[in-house]
Copies of this chain bind each other. A is one copy, B any other.
């Protein structure tokens, strides 16, 4: 039942949204891909994802009024399928779609992903557009009442009607022909409309059929915890939060979200904490800026995402990455959590601090992450039995961010962390 690609580790990559919003173009995608190949690939980063409205003309030109221009012109093929706007993606002209861009990225040793919206273009429904592989037309499978609350482009597809699965098959087949490795489908994860649940299944079936392994990623969150079986059966990753941005008010609730979802991380199934708004972001939103997160907060974010084993998608523009951020993203000891750890679980959480524990599958070591959730520096006492130990005394702990080791001489462990700060300790228990 699982998707053909059984992801053995959470996907790592870059996504155009946090920096470009709807405006990214081909050269910008290539520049980020080049950077990733040169500086990040060796650390496990591999996906380049083109986010929302690559099919829209004039995307971002009315940003004062609209994020998404309603009833704007979109590029569409004869089978009611959206294709790239050739004004921003010149290589797509002549029916090439994203194939040339995917090829470019594959040659760099990377993988290529695209964002899509649940459903079929509204304009196709109103013009009774043709569908591939069926006599039915777009108006017959589009649900006029199934609209996204924040994007005007699509109508949902009616589950079970003739032509519905054929339509989803036809878009996935097209993406496969382009060489797409990763599909981030939006307006579907939170199941805002009832049909979304079945549209996930249609996408899953289409991917199984298409013959090309593709990761299926669902947005936006928060995902519904009581639908965890559905997500894990039909998708690879699903957002457990609404859009995440660089403010502590978004980061703090992630501890609760990770607590809720901690038992649902497994091979091929990755609850998704959303993109990392680090480095330079916001340009397409009209406010290019360095992340508002403090360094401590960025360490806290990376520590939680990695302990939890969330997918990692960099939101900042790669070509503008500063040294400190690059180091944050290329700490091998930390990134090893994604590939080699398992069994992560929250040990404790109150208003002041939080503890997570996991272990490394490749040896006997444990990972103990400590988070200071308060605004001030504070000492934190970790009792040995909380970590399932009789005592910390005699253990040597290495902190992954600083690389420093220390031997403990007390039964319990006491550390001091700055406000919003974190540390991850590795040790042989």
Binding site for B on A (CB under 8 A): 1, 70-71, 122-123, 125-126, 128, 139, 142-145, 147-150, 152, 225-226, 228-229, 259-260, 262-264, 345-348, 385-386
- Find out whether the CB atom of B70 lies under 8 angstroms from the CB atom of A144: yes
Q: Which residues of B contact A152 (CB under 8 A)?
A: 144-145
Select A229's contact among B122, B259, B385, beta carbons within 8 Å: B259
Q: Which residues of B contact A126 (CB under 8 A)?
A: 71, 122-123, 126
Q: Which residues of B contact A347 (CB under 8 A)?
A: 1
Most chain B CB within a 10 A radius of its CB, from A148, A225, A226: A226
Select A71's contact among B144, B228, B229, B386, beta carbons within 8 Å: B144
Identify the closest chain B residue to A269 (Cβ).
B263
When all copies of this chain in the complex are counted, the total is 4
Q: Which residues of B contact A346 (CB under 8 A)?
A: 229
The 5 closest A-B pairs by CB, nearest first: A144-B152, A71-B139, A263-B263, A70-B144, A229-B259
Give bound CA distance, A99 to B280, whole Å.
Answer: 63
Q: Which residues of B contact A345 (CB under 8 A)?
A: 229
- Give 15 pairs: A residue, B residue, CB < 8 Å, sorted on A: A1-B347, A1-B348, A70-B125, A70-B142, A71-B126, A71-B128, A71-B142, A122-B144, A123-B126, A145-B148, A145-B152, A226-B260, A229-B345, A229-B346, A263-B263
Most chain B CB within a 10 A radius of its CB, from A148, A150, A152: A152
Q: Which residues of B contact A259 (CB under 8 A)?
A: 229
Q: Which residues of B contact A348 (CB under 8 A)?
A: 1
Q: Which residues of B contact A149 (CB under 8 A)?
A: 145
Give bound CA distance, A128 to B72, whole Å.
Answer: 9
- Find out whether the CB atom of A125 lies under 8 angstroms from the CB atom of B1: no
Q: State the Cβ distance, A174 to closest chain B Cβ, in Å.
A: 23
Q: State the Cβ distance, A318 to closest chain B Cβ, in Å.
A: 33
Q: State the Cβ distance, A342 to closest chain B Cβ, in Å.
A: 13
Identify the closest chain B residue to A385 (Cβ).
B1
Q: Which residues of B contact A71 (CB under 8 A)?
A: 125-126, 128, 139, 142, 144
Select A145's contact among B123, B147, B260, B262, beta carbons within 8 Å: B147
Give bound CA distance, A102 to B51, whole Å.
Answer: 54
Give bound CA distance, A226 to B222, whole Å.
Answer: 12
- Find out whether the CB atom of B147 lies under 8 angstroms from the CB atom of A70: no
Give bound CA distance, A169 to B152, whole Å.
Answer: 26
Q: Which residues of B contact A125 (CB under 8 A)?
A: 70-71
Q: Which residues of B contact A148 (CB under 8 A)?
A: 145
Give bound CA distance, A96 to B386, whole Å.
Answer: 36
Identify the closest chain B residue to A265 (Cβ).
B263
Select A386's contact among B1, B70, B139, beta carbons within 8 Å: B1
Q: Which residues of B contact A128 (CB under 8 A)?
A: 71
